[in-house]
């Protein structure tokens, strides 16, 4: 056993997880932890507003397996509940570390600044939106508590919350340097012991049997495959079976879109109608690492026959009407690969159909810029594979599904506006080799877009494309034209310049192509103000809003 400071122990767990950056905004209760951070190799990224801290750290987590937000108590922590909720819903391991009042003051009336009802208010709020929480108010149990939060996060790929009273930051704790992660391993071992091996064998046998009898199976790859680091195994599995692969909106780019087995993004009746038809006539759909939420099923328009459906996700496997609880996704994928890659007869290999992508074309002769025109220009850029795609919610996300990319970050299920620009900061720091193309609606840009300032400060260079239709366009299509859907017009290029970024306005396809070219040639953060007609939306968004408008109109 050796002694170290609690802060140093926490930072060592963070760096061992492969993290090189933390995101946050300093404030008095977290200052000693920020100071302790200067003893480490971690770089800290101070954003302008806490909601952005959450989005940036979430994006980092999606690409690195852990993202860390350092915030102060109350005014800091409570200002990022929504991004943490997003991370919970979309299974991103975002760790919130919040400073808080000294343990010795946490008695009597909570009349300290940044307090709401009780000293536990913030903790109790975060308990609602995270998988594990702790208040490190006890020197003896602190290390174990930190380990428990990290373990739960890594097991569930969901957010955790650590509250660090100011006088505990440099408290001496006993750790075993040779045995860091002991609690993790103990937990994993016990989880594995609990793995009903015979249940897994039975499930695998059922799946193999179904595959043997299937003529047109489909593999639907979901976001958990990326979250749990199974991408390569799933590629091998797809190749061994030569099975066609689709991804969902949240799972987009979890499987390489240039891979010959990949046939498109399946999105029920919101998506490509040809793909929809092909998928829904399949006699064996294997959904691997996807939770079939409302968004993954395109508002439950996905017509997937339950009897032909196999769902393997991180906590259960469902084969037709058989539910197997507590089967580990990792074990399932690897055992499937063993069985299929090795023992399955070579006859069980399938054909990859040729499903053309839905044509999205700028109308010939149209002088004004269109969403279709932008997608055309951007897809030419995508061929270079030098870019990641980060979208906000809105048509930017639905149109963005048409981009061929290996990295696609979007709030595809929880659909929180404001994700795009801050997430691009997290994405570029997590994957410095890819320059983010950020697609963001004007409504969402008005929430968090000024975070381009942080990109400038950090020397990053995302290309931010503002879908400028001066309205909450989606809401107009879901409801009807209302004056409260109109947005104040902003000069986005002027704003970019005011914070040290560059920018160009584009109101035609030619202008847009030129602006994009300038952006690519620039090494700075670059904003393209893409002026769109109010009625111009992507086919996907049109089908989606047609669907959702029924619910709203039923309630009007």
Residues of this chain, 55-74, that bind a second copy according to CB under 8 A: 74
Q: Which CB sits closer to a second copy, 324 or 490? A: 490
Q: How many residues sit in the footprint of a second copy (CB under 8 A)? A: 84
- Shortest distance, position 28 Cβ to a second copy, whole Å: 6
Q: Does 3 bind a second copy (CB under 8 A)?
A: no
Interface residues for a second copy in 502-531 (CB under 8 A)? none
**Which of 144, 294, 338, 517 forms a contact with a second copy (CB under 8 A)?**
294
Q: Packing angle between helix 50-64 and helix 81-89, nearest 10 degrees?
A: 30
Among the listed residues 20, 40, 125, 188, the single contact to a second copy using CB under 8 A: 125
Smallest distance, a second copy to C-beta of residue 269, A: 16
Q: Does 225 bind a second copy (CB under 8 A)?
A: no
Which position among 10, 27, 64, 222 is part of the footprint of a second copy (CB under 8 A)? 27
Q: Which stretch binds a second copy (CB under 8 A): 139-147, 163-171, 234-242, 320-328?
A: 163-171
Query: Which residue in 128, 141, 190, 197 binds a second copy (CB under 8 A)?
Result: 128
Tokens 């996300």 found at: 397
Helix (H) or strand (E) holding 174: strand 172-175
Query: Angle at CA 216, nearest 5°, toward 297 and 540?
Result: 30
- The CB-of-476 to a second copy minimum distance in angstroms stands at 10
Tell me which stretch binds a second copy (CB under 8 A): 177-185, 378-386, 472-480, 515-523: 472-480
Distance CA 245, CA 266 (A): 10
Under the criterion CB under 8 A, does residue 167 sit at the interface with a second copy?
yes
Do 44 and 208 meet the contact criterion of CB atoms below 8 Å apart?
A: no
* Listed residue (86, 118, 84) closest to 100, CA to CA: 118
Helix boundaries (H) for 102-168:
121-127, 142-156
Among 262, 413, 512, 526, binds a second copy (CB under 8 A): 413
β-sheet bridge partners, residue 219: 245, 286
Binding mask 247-286 for a second copy (x = CB under 8 A): ----------------------------------------
Using the minimum distance from each CB to a second copy, give the nearer residue, 183 or 456: 456
In the list 216, 457, 514, 542, the residue contacting a second copy (rule: CB under 8 A) is: 457
Question: What residues between 82 and 111 interact with a second copy by CB under 8 A?
Answer: 82, 85-86, 88-89, 102, 111
Contact 333, 288 (CB under 8 A): yes
Please give the structure tokens belonging to residue 486.
């109109």
User: Considering only 239-247, 252-260, 364-372, 480-488, which stretch makes contact with a second copy by CB under 8 A?
Assistant: 480-488
Binding residue for a second copy, selected from 4, 12, 26, 334, defined by CB under 8 A: 26
Go through the chain and tell me how many residues it has: 556
Residues 436-455 that bind a second copy (CB under 8 A): 446-448, 450, 453-454
Nearest CA to 49 out of 69, 19, 28 is that of 69
Buried residues in 197-235 as b, exposed as e (16+ CB within 10 A)? eeebebbbebbeebbeebebbbbbbbbbbbbbebbebbb
CA 256 to chain centre: 16
Helix (H), strand (E) counts: the chain: 21, 21
């Amino acid at each position: 056993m050796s002694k170290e400071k609690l802060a140093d122990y926490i930072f060592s767990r963070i760096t061992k997880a492969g993290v090189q950056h933390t995101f946050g905004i300093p404030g008095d209760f977290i200052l000693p932890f920020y100071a302790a951070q200067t003893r480490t190799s971690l770089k800290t990224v101070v954003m302008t507003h806490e909601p952005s801290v959450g989005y940036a750290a979430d994006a980092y987590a999606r690409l690195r397996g852990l993202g860390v937000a350092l915030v102060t108590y109350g005014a800091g922590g409570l200002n990022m509940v929504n991004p943490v909720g997003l991370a919970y819903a979309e299974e991103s391991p975002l760790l919130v570390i919040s400073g808080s009042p000294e343990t010795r003051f946490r008695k009597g009336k909570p009349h300290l600044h940044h307090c709401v009802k009780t000293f536990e208010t913030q903790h109790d709020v975060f308990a609602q939106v995270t998988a594990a929480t702790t208040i490190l108010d006890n020197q003896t149990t602190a290390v174990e508590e930190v380990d428990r939060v990290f373990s739960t996060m890594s097991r569930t790929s969901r957010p955790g919350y650590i509250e660090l009273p100011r006088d505990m930051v440099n408290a001496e704790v006993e750790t075993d340097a040779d045995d860091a992660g002991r609690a993790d391993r103990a937990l994993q071992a016990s989880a594995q012991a609990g793995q009903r091996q015979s249940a897994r064998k039975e499930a695998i046998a059922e799946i193999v049997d179904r595959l043997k009898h299937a003529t047109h199976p489909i593999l639907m790859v979901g976001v958990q495959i990326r979250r749990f680091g199974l991408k390569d195994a799933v590629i091998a599995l797809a190749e061994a079976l030569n099975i066609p692969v689709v991804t969902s909106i949240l799972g987009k780019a979890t499987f390489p879109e240039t891979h010959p087995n990949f046939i498109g993004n399946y999105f029920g009746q919101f998506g490509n109608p040809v793909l929809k038809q092909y998928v829904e006539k399949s006699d064996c759909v294997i959904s691997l690492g996807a939770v079939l939420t409302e968004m993954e099923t395109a508002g439950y328009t996905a017509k997937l026959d339950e009897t032909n459906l196999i769902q393997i996700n991180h906590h259960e496997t469902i084969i037709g009407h058989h539910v197997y609880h507590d089967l580990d996704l990792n074990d399932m994928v690897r055992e499937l690969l063993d069985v299929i890659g090795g023992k399955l007869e070579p006859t069980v290999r399938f054909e990859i159909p040729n499903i053309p992508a839905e044509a999205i074309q700028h109308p010939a002769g149209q002088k004004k810029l269109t969403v279709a025109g932008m997608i055309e220009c951007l897809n030419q850029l995508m061929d270079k594979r030098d870019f990641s795609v980060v979208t906000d919610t809105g048509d930017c996300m639905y149109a963005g599904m048409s981009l061929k990319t290996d990295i696609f970050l979007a709030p595809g299920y929880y659909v929180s506006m404001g994700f795009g620009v801050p997430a691009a900061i997290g994405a570029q720091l997590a994957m410095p080799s890819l320059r983010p193309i950020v697609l963001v609606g004007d409504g969402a840009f008005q929430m968090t877009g000024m975070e381009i300032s942080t990109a400038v400060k950090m020397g990053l260079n995302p290309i931010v494309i503002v879908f400028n239709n001066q309205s909450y366009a989606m809401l107009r299509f879901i409801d009807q034209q209302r004056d409260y859907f109109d947005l104040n017009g902003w000069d986005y290029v002027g704003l970019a310049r005011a914070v040290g970024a560059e920018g160009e306005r584009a109101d035609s396809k030619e202008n847009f192509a030129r602006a994009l070219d300038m952006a690519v040639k620039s090494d700075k953060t670059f904003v393209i103000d893409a002026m769109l007609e109010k009625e111009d939306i992507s086919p996907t968004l049109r089908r989606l809003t047609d669907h959702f408008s029924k619910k709203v109109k039923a309630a009007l």
